Structure 1
Amino acid sequence: MVSPIFVYMMLNPHVRHSPWLMPYYHSMKVVLLKCETYRKPILKATIERGLNLLGYTDIIRRGDRVLLKPNLLAAKPPSAAVTTHPMVVESVAEWVIDHGGKVLIGDSPGGAVKDMENLWTITGMRAVANKVGAELLNLNRYPIKIVDDLHISKICDDVDMIVNLPKLKTHSLTGMTMAVKNLFGLVPGLYKSHLHRVYPDPISFTKMLLRLYRLIPSNISVLDGILGMEGNGPSAGEPKAFGILGMADDALAMDFAIAKLARVSGRAFPEIKVAPTPSYELMSEVTTLSIRMPQTRVVNLILPTVLRYIYSLLFSYRPVITNRCRTCGVCADSCPVNAISGPPYTIDYRKCILCTCCYEVCPYGAIKIKRSVFRI
């Protein structure tokens, strides 16, 4: 007997790539292509080639509302490699439009962003929206739905498709931030800070991200790894030209493929330790990837278990507010446990849970992660 789910997907191609229904239809696919420039003709052709290799010729129906979900962590210019490059967003938007879809661009940035128009402008999203006729959505102000203890933007139910547009970066808490972590931007507003408080360590936070991934029907992931970030990401690391453009029909498969390429272990990147290894077909022009991990994760990478435990008793990493602080207050507004007060701003380390949210969202790079002798 033919499964009714299979029949439904045959009649509705746009739902075939939902992570809920993926096992009924096909094995997952990841495409990694070389691309060393944001020049529009080359970039757009590379994206179209990759999506064709995934078999995406009929996934969009005319009139479908398609949400493009870039990484818009902070109001940083494209050259800083903190956010998804606007030319990637523009090229994917034009691909959607060429296939008959209507484009929306939305995110809920990290921290307490008070001026979204400024963020749209500096990241280049305003210019992209004006050029392609897309609607910009501040997901901090969008209605939510509650699933268990997770608040998720209702935009997931109000569009026909979500295209996930992550940036290839390191991350001080989770080791790396790619396709799965980028879905965290569909958790609106400062509720993200609440989740950091409830899930303060890398393992529990990663498990929460994986629950979120299973709840959000991201149909396509296009990874901007042309210019990414290494070191102390996701906002204060060093830009690095990786020359990679990735496309996948599953966010977790994308992350596993990149981690394997970079030879990153589960100790440095908990996602590949916690999640079951997905089965996927890899089509790659890229054979090597070198990325320097955050200093907060390096000890997990280089030391065996016993030595890591001894090290953890003697040393700890903590955020420190430097003299670059401009007293904007974003760190205090974003702290999930109210450990930051001021101005002048100081951190109460008795309250600090080392989630590094302050470090992540500081618009001036005034917060550094420093090693201290003996645990706080």
Structure 2
Amino acid sequence: MKPVSKVALVRCQDYQAEFVDSAVQRGLELLGGAAKFAAAGEQILLKPNILVGATPDNHISPHPLVFAAIARTFQKTGAVLSFGDSPGIGSPLANAKRSGHYAVAQELGVRFADFTTARVVPFPQGHLINQFEIAEGVAQSDGLISISKFKTHALTRITGAIKNQFGCIPGVRKAEYHSLMPNADLFSQMLVDLNLLLKPRLYIMDGIVAMEGNGPRNGTPRPMHVLLFSTDPVALDATVCRMVDLDPNMVFPLVHGEEFGLGSAHDIEYIGDPLESFIQPDFNVNRSPEPTTTDTSFLSTSFMRRFTSPRPVINPTLCTRCGQCVDICPVKPKALAWGSNARIDTPIYNYDRCIRCYCCQETCPSKAISVKQSLLGKIVRRQ
């Protein structure tokens, strides 16, 4: 009989240090204690999701107080801790300093790991990918503790435990993976393979204040008052889906996570506080049956893709002409470029080239890019 996956749910009212410390301690104890996941002398990497260099009040990354509580608890095991993440934009160190995680790490004596140098790691048993370029700091560790944030995402609907490991690939190389896996289905298969390779020992998610709407950077903070803990990332992310009334079968990382044996989205035992107490059905997340990206049907033809697929759209009033969207676009030639006057014009999309990875929307610092479905697309997909 297949073992049931456990997800520990712990209520935490807000980001007061004593509340967070108590909640982290309780969550780990529910799963057997920190010593179950790290031993004295082991090199353990803490992997928070530091998408950009944003201050804690933006609720884009796991809060530094959550990170601190986890670090202190694992230090008691005698493990040697390091931490890091590789963003798509900006340097890992600069972002960690601005997010507040670096200051916490310095205070606790947690080393900043190398997330710039890449090492090729073979993965012959991969379902889609047979090798990955992994950050040296990840490759050198004995074990990984994944610390994610409860957020929405344009490509995968939610971003959480499974997707957090994409930050283990050095930033400039992420573009190659987006180009090679140009839709939500393939990209999600890659994410599952990556988790199967890295095998994080524990997944922890900060949902004390989550992000709804135009995530993972420019959404709206939404208090959920919960920390989640599990050794099964599929079960953890499926739990998030149930909390926000989203069908887990609409989330490709969960579908392929079950298919490839990463975990279970259905056979879950909840321990700690009751799941029902955290459900918020009005949480703003994409529940539309329409695909988030192109598929392999007739809608994938150049003409139909241009006029029926969801697309990133720039609000010229909000756009500051910083150019981050142009810089991060992974396709060659780029799917958006400057107009004739970059100081006045916003970048212009070529939707025939656009693969709908939404990296531009994800990294826009001014909330100027959102993903919209055209009227024609809505009509065609309902036929």
TM-score, normalised with respect to structure 2: 0.81
The answer for the alignment partner of 2:85 in structure 1 is 107
Q: How does 1:167-186 map to 2 (within 5 A)?
A: 167-186=149-168
The answer for the alignment partner of 1:15 in structure 2 is none
In structure 2, runs of 5+ residues without a counterpart are 124-129, 292-298, 378-383
Shift of 1:267: 5.1
Are residues 329 and 67 of structure 1, via their aligned partners in 2, closer, same or farther at CA, if it must alter by over 3 Å? Answer: same
**Residue 90 of structure 1, aligned match among 68, 75, 89:** 68
Shift of 1:196: 1.5
Are residues 144 and 134 of structure 1, via their aligned partners in 2, closer, same or farther at CA, if it must alter by over 3 Å? Answer: farther
Shift of 1:315: 4.2
Are residues 126 and 280 of structure 1, via their aligned partners in 2, closer, same or farther at CA, if it must alter by over 3 Å? Answer: same
The answer to whether the 8 Å contact 2:52/2:89 transfers is: no
**Residue 188 of structure 1, aligned match among 155, 164, 170:** 170
The answer to whether the 8 Å contact 1:233/1:294 transfers is: no
Shift of 1:135: 1.4
The answer for the alignment partner of 1:77 in structure 2 is 55
The answer to whether the 8 Å contact 2:84/2:114 transfers is: yes
Give me the whole-angstrom Cα distance separating, in 2, the residues matched to 1:133 and 1:32.
29
**Residue 262 of structure 1, aligned match among 232, 244, 260:** 244
Give me the whole-angstrom Cα distance separating, in 2, the residues matched to 1:154 and 1:27.
34
Q: How does 1:274-289 map to 2 (within 5 A)?
A: 274-276=256-258, 278=264, 279-285=267-273, 286-287=275-276, 288-289=278-279
The answer for the alignment partner of 2:294 in structure 1 is none
Which segment is superposed worse, 162-171 or 188-197?
A: 188-197
The answer for the alignment partner of 2:351 in structure 1 is 349
Shift of 1:105: 1.2
The answer for the alignment partner of 1:328 in structure 2 is 322
1:32 aligns with 2:20: no
1:374 aligns with 2:371: no
Which segment is superposed worse, 92-101 or 131-140?
A: 131-140
Q: Quick one: which amino acid aligns to residue 314 of structure 2?
A: I
The answer for the alignment partner of 1:136 in structure 2 is 112
**Residue 335 of structure 2, aligned match among 331, 339, 364:** 339
Are residues 348 and 228 of structure 1, via their aligned partners in 2, closer, same or farther at CA, if it must alter by over 3 Å? Answer: same
**Residue 199 of structure 1, aligned match among 181, 184, 187:** 181
Which segment is superposed worse, 221-230 or 265-274?
A: 265-274
The answer for the alignment partner of 1:244 in structure 2 is 226
Shift of 1:143: 3.5
Give me the whole-angstrom Cα distance separating, in 2, the residues matched to 1:83 and 1:45.
20
Deviations 1:77-124 (A, max 9, x none): 112111111111111010111221222111011x232x4443122211
1:121 aligns with 2:109: no
Are residues 99 and 137 of structure 1, via their aligned partners in 2, closer, same or farther at CA, if it must alter by over 3 Å? Answer: same
**Residue 54 of structure 1, aligned match among 28, 31, 42:** 31
TM-score, normalised with respect to structure 1: 0.83
Give me the whole-angstrom Cα distance separating, in 2, the residues matched to 1:366 and 1:141.
32
The answer to whether the 8 Å contact 1:313/1:374 transfers is: no
Give me the whole-angstrom Cα distance separating, in 1, the residues matched to 2:369 and 2:8.
36
The answer to whether the 8 Å contact 2:119/2:139 transfers is: no
Report SS of the residue matched to 2:322.
coil
- Give the % identical residues: 30
1:292 aligns with 2:286: no
Shift of 1:264: 1.6
Q: Quick one: which amino acid aligns to residue 292 of structure 1?
A: F
Report SS of the residue matched to 1:205.
helix
Q: Over aligned residue pairs, what C-alpha RMSD do you find? A: 2.6
Aligned length, in residue pairs: 341
Report SS of the residue matched to 1:363.
coil
Q: Quick one: which amino acid aligns to residue 335 of structure 2?
A: A
Q: Quick one: which amino acid aligns to residue 312 of structure 2?
A: P
